[in-house]
Amino acid sequence: MVESAFPALPAGLPPGRLVAPEEGPEDAVVLWVSDEPHAGLGGLWCRLYDERAKTGLYPLLLDTLNGEPARPWHDGELYNEDSVADIDALDVEAVLLGHRDGAESEDEEAALGPWPGLAAPGDGVREADECARVSAELGAEDTEFLLGLVPAARGADALTAMRWSGPVNHSGTAEISAVVRSWEERFGARVVMVGFADLGLSVAAPPRTIEHARAVAAEHEAFCPDNIWQGVGDMDEYAAGLVDRPRWSFWWD
């Protein structure tokens, strides 16, 4: 791999490696990842998060596929071919409506009700960075993660820049990034954890009322229907669980 193609790594990192997608050129590095998982990475994540504007690298807590520790990161299972420029070309509401219109069953479609439009911004967006730090420290306190660094200006873009393909059965990654960008701006969301097909966001400005939460839940359903239909199975119950919740987690089948 050609190390010069990747930004200079900051000091104080655990042993790690540069990773290129397994189906691309070896010098097309998109990610640095630690060699081993570690518990208690929250403090290091916070330092790297605070330095991201200087280093040009966005930190991630990376989870692996259960029972297969090399997948997907060390194995380079990064198949998405979208670019950050593709994110710029997308309209968020059109993306969500496109997925909503693809409801898999009549029962699911009926349960959705009319589209409420994009949810209004939450209160407290300015506290986003502090919320992200708290989320990383709590999430990594007793759980082992790999540490990842992606050359990206923001977490939403990091998902596409590292060619993550976790939601491939539902959506292109640029579409996922476009929605997360909008949540960064409206709800103070920050990308903290990424897994094989999992995504964990801190949320500084979640909905505070059930009415607001229902509008947010409609976006979540379009973004990741598995969260609802392979989870609680009811939109109202799902919405109730979003009220004041400082972390959003998603999983794609």
pLDDT in tens, 115-156: 999 999 999 889 999 999 999 999 999 999 999 999 999 999
The pair of three-digit structure tokens given for residue 159, joined into one six-digit string: 């998902």
The predicted model scores a pTM of: 0.94
pLDDT band at 23 (very low <50, low <70, confident <90, very high): confident
pLDDT for the residue numbered 4:
41
Report residue 226 as tokens. 């598995």
From the number of C-beta atoms within 10 Å of its C-beta (0-12, 13-18, 19+), residue 57 rates as buried
| Beta strand ranges found along 97-163 (DSSP E) | 146-150
Sequence-distant (≥ 6) Cβ neighbours of residue 210 within 8 angstroms: 239, 240, 243
Q: Is the pLDDT of residue 222 over 80?
A: yes
pLDDT category at 9 given cuts 50, 70, 90 is: very high
pLDDT at 1: 33
**Sequence letter at residue 29:** V
pLDDT in the model for residue 25 = 76
Q: How far apart are CA 72 and CA 183, in angstroms?
A: 26
Helix (H, G, I), strand (E, B) or coil at 148: strand
pLDDT at 5 over 70: no
For 36-56, write each residue's pLDDT tens digit: 999 999 999 999 999 999 999
Q: How many percent of the chain have pLDDT more than 90? A: 87
Q: CB of 47 within 8 A of CB of 140? A: no
The tokens describing 11, both together, are: 């000091």
Q: Average of pLDDT values for 19-33?
A: 89
The pairing of beta strand 58-62 with beta strand 189-194:
parallel
- C-alpha 161/C-alpha 153 separation (Å) is 10
Task: Classify the C-alpha dihedral 182-187-188-189 as positive or negative.
Answer: negative
Give per-residue pLDDT as tens, 69-119.
999 999 999 999 999 999 999 999 999 999 988 655 445 555 678 899 999
Q: What average pLDDT does this structure show over 209-237? A: 96
Q: Which two tokens stand for residue 59?
A: 């930190």
Q: Which pair of tokens denotes residue 98?
A: 């496109």
Please provide the average confidence, as pLDDT, over all residues in the chain: 93
The β-bridge partners of 236 are: none
Buried b (16+ CB within 10 A) or exposed e, 100-127: beebeeeeeeebbeeeeeebeebebbee
Can you tell me the distance from the alpha carbon of 131 to that of 189, in angstroms, rounded to the nearest whole number? 9
3 pLDDT higher than 50: no
Where does residue 117 fall: left (phi above 0), alpha (psi -120 to 50 degrees), or beta otherwise?
Answer: left
Question: Directed axis angle between helix 92-100 and helix 173-187, to 10°?
Answer: 120
DSSP conformation letters of 68-89: BTTTTTTTT-------HHHHHT
Predicted pLDDT at 251: 95
Length of the chain: 253
**pLDDT the model gives residue 109:** 56
Q: Does residue 114 or residue 161 have the better pLDDT?
A: 161
